[in-house]
Structure 1
Amino acid sequence: MLVDHAIWWHVYALGAVGAPVHQPDTPGQHHRLRALVDWLDYAIELGCSGLLLAPVFTSVSHGYDTLDHFSIDPRLGDDADFDHLMDEAGRRGMAVMLDGVFNHVAREHPQAAVLGAARSWEGHESLTELDHANPAVADLVVDVMLHWLRRGIAGWRLDVAYAVPAEFWRAVLPRVRAEFPDALFLGEVIHGDYDEILADTALDTLTQYELWKAIWSSLKDTNLWELAWALERHDTFSSTHVLQTFVGNHDVDRIASVVGDDGAAIAAGLLLTLPGMPSIYYGDEQGFRGTKAAGFTADDPMRPPLPDGGPGALLPIGAWLYRWHQDLIGLRRRHAWLTRAHVVVLDKTNETMHYACTGGAGERLDVEVVLAPAPSFRAQVEGGETLEWSPGR
């Protein structure tokens, strides 16, 4: 199954390629999506095996206000540009997952009056909530999913899955799986009982926001007791499902902005030694900064353009963190059992933690985290290799 080996490089496409999000585009045909091809080898060298793309469909502004689920946003390019990206990813053995916004559409969507529930979503007047009791909405979502799966994608990240009725997913997903039984369906869920949600919706996996919050908060406040509590919950959830784990995405403050470079290194260590299906948000592996602003452009700082000229144009100051991610992902790939490991906290203080991950065939990885007085991270495979980090290493 894809969840057992995928490590995703998560890219907010409109931002990464420098497309205008809030202003009109310059005249002429644009093929910005092709710029991402220059970054595929970079992602593979990092250790990632999949590309998770934030919305690429025609929208009004930020991509989550969809106008047409069947066309590539003209700010990114056209079908030929998408096919080129898919071909290049496939040639490298990379899976591609698309972001599907099926909870709401732009107010200007041509079918909003027919498909919508005549109310805005969570107070966003520019977004019309879809009427999920309307069979036409289910038909549309099935058609959209099948259209892009037939174009070669491996699965869907389902935006705001927590706001869509569970019975809608139970009705839609079997129709899609009838043709694509191996397609992956990742639901965005902020909180709740993950096991119950997965059972109710028939989704494959969910976003592990509990673990994300515990990682950055524990590092920021020097309180590893919070992380220890979250790991107990994560272990329970991981006994039955592989959850999508992350320390950054397009909606949250950059991890290095919250906990600094040293904290970002430890966060990466935690992410890549714990059970789950990890994703790396583009630039986090280089220590990119970005925190939420205010107003309509609040998320822009977390969604910056990648430098023109490809990976060679990156500043060298983030190279050490990139190499640390490579080392961690390499360790994880050599010990793929970590995806479904059992994790137990053996010792903890505010500043230190020792946990062990174990596999069903007797495998074991011991991890020691130190936040103060001098930060460090150490992971040791029983009877095998050791991976260590401290500032300056």
Structure 2
Amino acid sequence: MPNWVEDALWWQVYPLGFVGAVQEPGTADAAPIRHRFEHLEAWVEHVIGLGLNGILLGPVFASGSHGYDTIDYFRIDPRLGDDADFDHFLAVCRAAGLRVLLDGVFNHVGTQFEPFREAVAGGEASAASRLFRFHWGSTNDLGLPAYDCFEGHQALVELNHDAPEVADLVVDVMCHWLGRGIDGWRLDAAYAVPESFWARVLPRVRDRYPDAYVLGEVIHGDYPAIVGASGMDSVTQYELWKAIWSSLASGNFFELSHALGRHGEFLDSFVPQTFVGNHDVTRIASQIGDPRHLGHAHAVLLAVGGTPSIYYGDEMGYTGVKEDRIGGDDQVRPVMPPTPGDLSLGHEHAEALRALVGVRRRHRWLHTGRTTDLALANETYAFAVEGVDGAGAAGERIVVCLNLTDDPAAFANLDVSEIVATGPDGTSLDGSGVTVPAHGWAVLE
């Protein structure tokens, strides 16, 4: 993993939703350019103000609809802008000290992807057909020659990852945009692609761009084995995501304790990418139900080991429920106002997050910190996060206290001397221990 990732704190954005373009149909043909990257640029100061130092962008390449049905990997989606707009956005981010990751959708493409159209037109003997897994002699619901598709969605044509041509294509795409100035890739649906494919592709990319960070979307499975076999730097930590929201929603910190134990085992072999929200899941504020507990979720996220990301709007307590229907992602992929100054709600959540980010940035060793339970009950929990000897952080330590009850919670024998972040106000520290107010949280040293 590149050394700079130790300090990376991401703000994740779904661009087509953020700028209000997702409802507009994409096209494979020439289309009017909408110069909307300036909408994203207007929020750079907001990201810096939160203390974050990177932007993890969702799909920005030309696509047919939601960005995950790619038409052209080498062209910026005209609903967002053009090459000049993207270069300007990168320059603004670089001047502000922000890293940028792009979303690489390399498991599947859209039906308007030019090599796919060539394959359909040219048939089984065409060179383009080798990029896909067709079932010649039968047709699908779209009236096209049948082919493997992503999770039953016939509009998403799976690539043939056994074909050298596909490996060459992905290497070319990744290197092209790294050469343009991005810092790495999020590999969409990496769980659906054979690890052996990434093991062939990533060394070729790193030969040219050794400082590139590669993060894979993996929902379940043996995370360490997948990282080891694929050569990716990290994968998404869905186990911890589920435990955070579920323990808060159900008042069951035993689930979180168990997940943190597992998380520590993962940290023995790689540093997971951690989150409490992203573009594919119900917003954390909606998942947990009680808005008083949003700070608890962010306290866990920013205190434990990992490379954290904040999904845009979560810092303001945005709500939204993902639904299993056409357009069911719209609530969790909303349009944002033209500037942060247009926001009138949620500033108290942002202030709490800013304080937690400050703790994280003052304690860089938290990137690989391990947790130990200090006091555990269904609705109250205290755990320590400690530095790892090999990371030069031996002896470093913070403590997180969480209280979901209607009464103040007292925690004794924590061996702390200072409150460094808390929400709401009211945490007290004396010789007998720490008292956290009802529905409160605190981070202490």
Instruction: Calculate the TM-score normalised by the size of structure 2.
Output: 0.84
For 2:52, the aligned partner's letter is: C
**Deviation beyond 2 Å, 4+ runs, structure 1:** 20-25, 373-378, 380-386, 390-393
CA distance 1:149–1:285, shift in 2 (3 Å): same
Q: 1:69 aligns to what SS in structure 2? A: strand
1:89 maps to 2:93: yes
Identify the residue that residue 225 of structure 2 maps to in structure 1: 196
Identify the residue that residue 349 of structure 1 maps to in structure 2: 377
> 1:253 pairs with 282, 288, 291, which one?
282
Q: Shift of residue 391 of structure 1?
A: 7.4
For 2:351, the aligned partner's letter is: R
Identify the residue that residue 238 of structure 1 maps to in structure 2: 267
1:363 maps to 2:396: yes
Q: How many residues align?
A: 389
Q: Shift of residue 240 of structure 1?
A: 2.3
The C-alpha deviation readout for 1:252-302, integer Å capped at 9, x for no partner, is: 000111223212111011101111000000000001111013422111110
| Counterpart contact for 1:248–1:280, Cα < 8 Å | yes
Counting only pairs closer than 5 Å after superposition, residues 35-184 of structure 1 correspond to structure 2 as: 35-112=39-116, 113=119, 114=128, 115-118=131-134, 119-184=148-213
CA distance 1:333–1:377, shift in 2 (3 Å): farther
CA distance, structure 2, for counterparts of residue 276 and residue 381 of structure 1: 24
CA distance 1:385–1:200, shift in 2 (3 Å): same
CA distance 1:252–1:382, shift in 2 (3 Å): same
1:388 maps to 2:422: yes
| Counterpart contact for 2:283–2:318, Cα < 8 Å | yes
> 1:278 pairs with 295, 302, 308, which one?
308
| Counterpart contact for 2:379–2:405, Cα < 8 Å | yes
For 2:132, the aligned partner's letter is: G
Q: CA RMSD in A?
A: 1.9
Q: Shift of residue 367 of structure 1?
A: 1.0
| Counterpart contact for 1:185–1:203, Cα < 8 Å | yes
Q: 1:30 aligns to what SS in structure 2? A: coil
Larger Rg: 2
CA distance, structure 1, for counterparts of residue 315 and residue 199 of structure 2: 36
Q: 1:145 aligns to what SS in structure 2? A: helix
> 1:300 pairs with 296, 305, 330, which one?
330
Q: 1:295 aligns to what SS in structure 2? A: coil
Gaps of 5+ in 2: 120-127, 135-147, 427-439, 441-445
> 1:372 pairs with 398, 405, 412, which one?
405
For 1:7, the aligned partner's letter is: L
For 2:75, the aligned partner's letter is: S
CA distance 1:376–1:98, shift in 2 (3 Å): farther
CA distance, structure 1, for counterparts of residue 407 and residue 9 of structure 2: 30
Q: 1:70 aligns to what SS in structure 2? A: strand
Q: Shift of residue 388 of structure 1?
A: 1.4
Identify the structure with bigger relative contact order (alpha carbons < 8 Å, sequence gap 6+): 1
Identical pairs, percent: 50
Comparing 95-104 and 362-371, the one that deviates more: 362-371
> 1:289 pairs with 319, 344, 351, which one?
319
For 2:423, the aligned partner's letter is: W
Q: Shift of residue 375 of structure 1?
A: 8.0
